[in-house]
Amino acid sequence: MTRLLEPLVVDPRDPVAILPSLEAAIAGQRTLLPVPADDPTRAALLRDSQRAGHPVSADIALVVATSGSTGTPKGAQLTPANLVSSADATHRHLGGEGQWLLAMPAHHIAGLQVLIRSLIAGVDPLALDLSSGFHTADFARAATELHATGDRCYTSLTPMQLAKLMDTLQGIDALRLFDAVLVGGAALNPQLARAAADMQITLVTTYGSSETSGGCVYDGHPLPGARVRVEGGRIHLGGPMIAHGYRNAPDHAAFAEPGWFATSDAGRIDAGSLTVTGRLDAVIDSGGLKLQPEVLEQAMLGVRGVTGACVVGVPHPRLGQAIVAAYTGPASPGEVIAGLDHLPRWQLPKELRRLDELPVTGPGKVDRRGVEKLF
């Protein structure tokens, strides 16, 4: 049985308006493709690549695009069971249902799941108007309103949003009002994580993607029902929240094993805890030596005065690829290099640039291609 794939336009000024449509999709009545109202180019790309208006299996509730910065996005096909199992597992991990604040774009899986968890809990979510960006004062007002309900309170943020909030006392006080603040979409600065713990802010780091109905590994451990294994250095995720393949790549090898998704991420499991070490397709080969850029990024984030970091490889006539890096924060380039003196010399960036802001794509992810162009 099939039905037509319908575009679902998500307005950043009022993302809660899509709740009735999401409810119908979870009830098995519609199949929807979320697209942003404020980015017509991206919306057109999603409609074309995911064949909106054409037949799709009636078993699918949502087709949610991946958030890569280049190429054609793939569309993860998520069933009602995928979405509901993810929401239920999140609430079980957090200690119960509660009130949710939507502070992320609702056409991405992280934002969609905030709305779906609210539907499952039977509560009306509170949402920020993100049409003019993410503002600490707006977040603080919404957090106070949510806290006044007396229920458990949750929100989901990117590391960049968290860093912005923790820059001010107003943001810190607002974060303390939540029983849990989910943080995902990119690696969390370890200095920021330590500071949050010192300030009694309850952070929960999440790992997952559109293909897994959102985060399915919290603080290194799989949610109830989720499964994790590492084979040949590659992370594989399994469980009831795994998508039913890609809309526009039905034979993709990532879904070759039923119920499992082979990610493009490298990692390891130590004492039952998953550590993500980086993207397998981002490895830099410099003079025959291979570097996972995320390893150097984490080292840079450990240097005082570095708030963001991105390491990439650029063509080099002798080395093949040269390691270069961009960062944000008040530290000088010399201070950054001095803070990396514990690393092998070949891993140190050949060129280092301090930026006011790192280019981003998707929900707070650094645009590596954008950084490459700077060099």
Residues of the chain with CATH 3.40.50.12780: 80-275
3-state helix, strand, coil in the chain (%, to 5): 30, 30, 40
Residues of the chain with CATH 3.30.300.30: 283-374
Structure tokens at 151: 């229920």
pLDDT digits (tens, 9 = 90+) for 288-334: 999 999 999 999 999 999 999 999 999 999 999 999 999 999 999 99
CATH number for 80-275 (one of 3.80.10.10, 3.30.2270.10, 3.40.50.970, 3.40.50.12780): it is 3.40.50.12780
pLDDT digits (tens, 9 = 90+) for 22-36: 999 999 999 999 999
> For residue 3, which of 78, 75, 58, 47 has the smallest C-alpha distance?
58
Query: pTM of the prediction?
Result: 0.90
pLDDT digits (tens, 9 = 90+) for 66-124: 875 457 899 999 999 999 999 999 999 999 999 999 999 999 999 999 999 999 999 99
- The C-alpha atoms of residue 373 and residue 193 are separated, in whole angstroms, by 30
The kind and range of the H/E element at 36 are strand 32-36
Given a contact cutoff of 8 angstroms between Cβ atoms, the answer to whether 205 and 198 are in contact is: no
- The C-alpha atoms of residue 262 and residue 254 are separated, in whole angstroms, by 5
- Topology adopted by domain 283-374: GMP Synthetase; Chain A, domain 3 (3.30.300)
For the chain, the average pLDDT equals 95
Query: At CA 149, angle to CA 192 and CA 141, rounded to 5?
Result: 50
Please name the residues in contact with 140: beta carbons below 8 A apart, sequence gap of 6 or more: 170, 171, 173, 174
75-109: burial string, b at 16+ Cβ within 10 Å, e else: bbbbbbbbbbbbbbbbbebbeebbbbbbbbbbbbb
